[in-house]
Amino acid sequence: MNGKQITIVGGGLVGSLLAVFLAKRGHRINVFERRADPRKSNVYAGRSINLVVSHRGWTALKAAGVHEAVERIVVPVHARMTHDRDGKLTRLPYSIDERAIHSVSRGELNKVMLSEAEKFPNVKLHFEHRCTSVNLETGTCTFHNEATGEASAVPADVVFGSDGAPSAVRQEFMKHRFTFSQTYIEHDYKEIAFAPNADGTPRMDPHCLHIWPRRWFMMMGLANTDGGFTGTLFMPHTASAVIPEAGRPKGAGPGLARRGEATESHPAIPAFDQIKDEQDLMRFFEEHFRDATPMLPDLAEQYFRNPQSNLAIIRCSPWTYKDKVALIGDAAHAIVPFYGEGMNAGYEDCKVLNDILNEHGDDNWATVLDAYHKARKPNGDAIADLSLRNFVEMRDLVADPKFILRKKIEGRLQARHPDKWLPLYSQVKFSDIGYKTAWDEGLRHDRIMEQVLAMPGIEEKWESEEVERKALGLLEK
């Protein structure tokens, strides 16, 4: 094998991990990033949702040999902690054995990953380079140097577009036979930081993902290593927004999508465009997030300073062009953040690509890219659907006694029959099972649990043999 000249457009989380994988194979890598080096300037200030690393994220990081650097900057999270309007807390573990997902700041993770990539002499990072065109036939990309104003043309054997949802590389695909859709959900989001105590200790349990579920909107908080939390408020952008189909789980199954009002407009639902001044804001927080307010002394200042961002789902096909160009990560499959899987899905893309290169070698890029697209496209679609589904779960269902009962029944089934019953959440976050397989299996679980929850007296007898037999019997059908 001769090392190839490879251009990676986008030096975010996925681009930097991809650079590591490809550098270890002996290729020569140029990474071009539109923004400044995050190790030198705070490019993410005020507009980041915290991320979580899940099992499949770790699998990819380990395969690339960079997991130890990441382990130093994460906070383990074992459970959801819901806050009701009166401040009452309910702890819902993610799995029966208290397995953890790991909270991490996007900015910190990006810095670590860039430094890992830069350790390889065959990786060169170029910041403030905006991609202005990609020749899909030749692999030559042009870049505008945002600092000097200069333009440059960079030839390459293979090009990867890891440049996120607004991908410039994908723009070039649009000029060809390319199926594409972008759908915005009605909810926007805004970051609000929770400061630590004066002594640097956290004000809430840092090993929980805190949720204030309010049915049509929610706030969440994820711990950082400094004792603070990154909070995020999700709410319709306008009071007149109709909660669209896109905001509901596709085929979520009975028991999840049962709240029929979801497709009607709800003038009573709070929306970003209703909060015009500090008085509106304080009234809103006092009504819905009373227990959080004392932890946010600078709330108004943050709220009116931080940008309000929107959320889109992007699906497209094909992700590759001949033997030359491939989309990866959000550039190929931008999803909503509610399963915390966007980064993990992108990391898994890199890992699967590396596996395919192991199989087909580094000189058959037409075969490799085709196999990559075939392997990942169905999983990209599935995690998009799963992420929408989890939004309903987080903002609404976690506050529903029936849903909590279902979780308990599923936990018992898993404990007693771990070979037969792995709840959907565990499949997604604590396994390497393909997203598509998990989605199909999750829909099957929905149908079974609907019948189980309809059993008379289920609230009393959920731990009985009878319930267990019923569920397993349905599973074997």
Site residues (vs a second copy, CB under 8 A): 174, 177-184, 237, 310
For a second copy, the closer CB: 173 or 430: 173
What six digits make up the tokens of 361? 């070698």
- Whole-angstrom distance, CA of residue 306 vs CA of residue 301: 9
- Whole-angstrom distance, CA of residue 180 vs CA of residue 172: 12
- Whole-angstrom distance, CA of residue 255 vs CA of residue 403: 8
Strands 28-32 and 158-161, by their bridges, are unpaired
- 331, 163 in Cβ contact below 8 A? yes
Q: Quick one: which of 376, 283, 387, 409 has its CA closest to 342?
A: 387
DSSP letter string over 184-237? EEEEEEEEEEEPPPTTS--SS-TTEEEEEE-SS-EEEEEE-TTS-EEEEEEEES
- 210, 204 in Cβ contact below 8 A? yes
For a second copy, the closer CB: 151 or 174: 174
For a second copy, the closer CB: 122 or 367: 367
For a second copy, the closer CB: 190 or 237: 237
Least distance from C-beta 119 to a second copy, angstroms? 37
Ordered alpha helix ranges (H), 119-196: 168-173
- Whole-angstrom distance, CA of residue 63 vs CA of residue 55: 12
For a second copy, the closer CB: 126 or 144: 144
For a second copy, the closer CB: 213 or 318: 318
What six digits make up the tokens of 465? 């043999």
Least distance from C-beta 293 to a second copy, angstroms? 30
Polymer length of the chain: 477
Least distance from C-beta 120 to a second copy, angstroms? 36
- Whole-angstrom distance, CA of residue 418 vs CA of residue 403: 21
For a second copy, the closer CB: 221 or 318: 318
For a second copy, the closer CB: 114 or 325: 325
Residue with tokens 């975010």: 12
- Whole-angstrom distance, CA of residue 353 vs CA of residue 376: 9
Least distance from C-beta 241 to a second copy, angstroms? 10
What six digits make up the tokens of 152? 């440059």
Least distance from C-beta 441 to a second copy, angstroms? 25
Least distance from C-beta 189 to a second copy, angstroms? 13
Least distance from C-beta 98 to a second copy, angstroms? 40
What six digits make up the tokens of 417? 């029959």
Instruction: Give the strand order in the sheet containing 75-77.
Output: 51-53, 101-104, 75-77
- 325, 158 in Cβ contact below 8 A? yes
CA 125, 128, 129, 130 dihedral sign is positive
Least distance from C-beta 303 to a second copy, angstroms? 20
Strands 141-145 and 129-134, by their bridges, are antiparallel
Residue with tokens 């009071």: 239
Least distance from C-beta 444 to a second copy, angstroms? 24
For a second copy, the closer CB: 127 or 189: 189
Least distance from C-beta 315 to a second copy, angstroms? 9
- Whole-angstrom distance, CA of residue 33 vs CA of residue 384: 25
For a second copy, the closer CB: 148 or 179: 179
For a second copy, the closer CB: 309 or 431: 309
Least distance from C-beta 209 to a second copy, angstroms? 27
Strands 101-104 and 75-77, by their bridges, are antiparallel
